[in-house]
Amino acid sequence: MPSSFPSTAMASSSSSTSENPRISDHLALATAPISGRLAVTACAAMAFFYVAILYFPTLILRLPPPASLESFMIRRFACAVVSSAVSVISCLFLLGLGRLDDFPTILGVLGIRRDHLWQAAVFPILLTSLIYAGSFVSKSWKLVSRWKDEGRENSFCSVGIYGRRCKDWVCAYARNVMAWRNYVVAPITEELVFRACMIPLLLCGGFGTYSIVFLSPIFFSLAHLNHFLELYYQQKYSFMKAFLIVGLQLGYTVIFGWYTSFLFIRTGSLISPIVAHIFCNVMGLPVLSSPRTKGTATIAAAAGLVGFLYLLFPATNPDMYNQLRDGCRCWHRYCGWS
């Protein structure tokens, strides 16, 4: 456990915990401060509110429709921030942590910590990048092909051209409201609500570790069902096309939610799922095959998947992200997860 956390041991378990910091799940369950039903209800309410508030300005406040995409997205950004703040306050209240004088503990519940920052950021990105080995091969192949097409005799000139293109690309993304949505607002607010707020409630509600890893992403997935209504009613997609698009998205969000929930519990840091979320949004769906690479991308994707599964537990060992693992609370399940 990080040194910034209070050293208070679990209720009625301080002596045994100090002797064996790797507490087991049943010890954490015995000190659960809230009921499992209340935890599930709170998580469902957070997921519903995260989506419902997006329609609050037009349906409840009766504000006029936004004049542009930028104003529409900025309005949604504000709604996401409000939803996140309400979820954080609700989580802390249910866990009995409403006092601001215990600020390190409050931040610790949410996985907001100052220690082991580079480990929490770098290791998850390196681990996640293995899934995209096929994508890296495909993108590299395209870059090499483009370089050959432009001619090697202009290689020095091409370096300058690519440099200007890169600068223009960065500037364009900095001004792109959708880039802010995909790479800043959505990763931070979604991980804060669906991981940092929900998982501590479920952990302290007495649920087992693997149950939370595999079942909690359901809330995250269901929060994307509003996309079906937008595709079907607003963009006039056919029912089957909207169903297939959203169905694929729901399946992907469930798998992604498994991974980020795993990262949050294993590391105890909110940075880990956030950087993984941003990285996946940047990369998109992994490339499994590409005709141009003559099977190289497929081999790379398979090797990357094997490497990912092999390193999943070693690369997320709690000892790499926490100096101490004693004095744990119910939301510190990594203390008993070697």
Tell me the catalytic residues.
190, 224
Q: Which residues, in sequence order, are CB contacts of 137 under 8 Å at separation 6+?
A: 287, 290, 293, 296, 297, 300, 301
- Going 325 to 22 to 262 to 204, the CA torsion angle's sign is negative
CA distance 15 to 246: 51
Residue 198: CB atoms within 10 A of its CB come to 27
- Amino acid, res. 23: I
Those residues with Cβ within 8 angstroms of residue 82's Cβ, 6 or more apart along the chain or in another chain? 53
What is the spatial distance between Cα 176 and Cα 170, in angstroms, rounded to a whole number?
Answer: 10
CA distance 95 to 101: 15
Spell 9-48 as b/e; 16+ CB within 10 A means b: bbeeeeeebeeebbbebebbbebbbbeeeebbebbeebbe
User: C-alpha angle 101/189/244, rounded to 5°?
Assistant: 150
